[in-house]
């Protein structure tokens, strides 16, 4: 029996272990809000791609003594900037003007738990990066069945790249740690799930349940 793209569920697109890494799935109410605000969704998606590239560049500058991290972050920064360009081009074709919007509480809500001393600081930053990429991957997959063909195809490609970024961040976190990171992953994943499950007054790509 041949399995086609139409036969796949959103979860079939995700890397193995991603849904176990995240402590909750995206609430249906967020999906409904995203579909009701397609312009805002794309604008904030573009913002997220730009911020992801900036984060990778920041790590490149700060941790110059780690060859594996430098290689992975260099590749990630290029990919995220390419995605940013692709989203802006897609918006332009749809008559959506790219403009500044305020950031969601999501990333800052995670980063406030990052430890201040090394190597714990780097380990936590990398785990947070893995969580953000994993959540992005999961949300792209959840949205795909509801989108027009052009956007669904684009997001299907992003699921693959964001899934790889999640795996790279998690691998780098384990590489940077002096011991097991399971407890730290569990703590930060629980905080991430709280942010996703809590009511949120502003809709964004990584916002919680619409208030």
- What are the chain's domains? 23-202 (1.20.1260.10)
Q: Which of 12-16, 21-25, 49-53, 156-160 has the lowest mean pLDDT?
A: 12-16
E-strand spans in 87-138?
Answer: none
Contact 138, 18 (CB under 8 A): yes
pLDDT digits (tens, 9 = 90+) for 137-178: 999 999 999 999 999 999 999 999 999 999 999 999 999 999
Q: Which of 12-21, 54-63, 167-176, 184-193 has the lowest mean pLDDT?
A: 12-21
Any residues with CB less than 8 A from the CB of 25 and at least 6 apart, and which?
19, 138, 142
Query: What distance separates the 2 farthest-apart alpha carbons in the chain?
Result: 54
- Of 106, 111, 105, 98, the closest CA to residue 44 belongs to 98
Model's pTM, two decimal places? 0.94
**What average pLDDT does range 88-117 have in this prediction?**
96
Contact 189, 88 (CB under 8 A): no
Q: Give me the pLDDT at residue 12, please.
A: 83
In Å, what is the CA distance from 95 to each residue of 91, 92, 100?
A: 6, 5, 16
Other Cβ atoms closer than 10 A to 132: 24
E-strand spans in the chain?
Answer: 199-200, 209-210
Q: Give me the pLDDT at residue 2, please.
A: 36
Q: Give me the pLDDT at residue 5, please.
A: 43
Q: Give me the pLDDT at residue 10, please.
A: 74
**What average pLDDT does range 2-31 have in this prediction?**
81
């Amino acid at each position: 029996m041949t399995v086609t793209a139409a036969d796949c569920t959103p979860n079939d697109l995700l890397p193995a272990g991603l849904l176990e890494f995240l402590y909750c799935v995206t609430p249906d109410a967020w999906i409904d809000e995203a579909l009701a605000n397609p312009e805002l969704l794309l604008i904030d998606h573009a913002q997220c791609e730009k911020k992801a590239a900036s984060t990778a560049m920041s790590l490149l500058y700060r941790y110059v003594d780690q060859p594996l991290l430098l290689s992975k972050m260099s590749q990630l920064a290029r990919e995220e900037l390419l995605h940013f360009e692709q989203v802006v081009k897609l918006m332009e074709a749809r008559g959506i003007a790219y403009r500044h919007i305020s950031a969601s509480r999501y990333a800052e809500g995670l980063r406030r738990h990052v430890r201040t001393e090394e190597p714990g600081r780097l380990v936590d930053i990398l785990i947070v990066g893995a969580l953000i990429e994993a959540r992005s991957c999961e949300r792209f997959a959840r949205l795909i069945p509801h989108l027009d063909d052009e956007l669904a195809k684009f997001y299907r490609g992003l699921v693959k790249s964001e899934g790889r970024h999640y795996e790279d961040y998690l691998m780098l976190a384990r590489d940077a740690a002096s011991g097991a990171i399971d407890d730290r992953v569990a703590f930060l994943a629980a905080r991430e799930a709280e942010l996703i499950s809590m009511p949120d007054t502003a809709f964004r790509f990584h916002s919680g349940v619409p208030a």
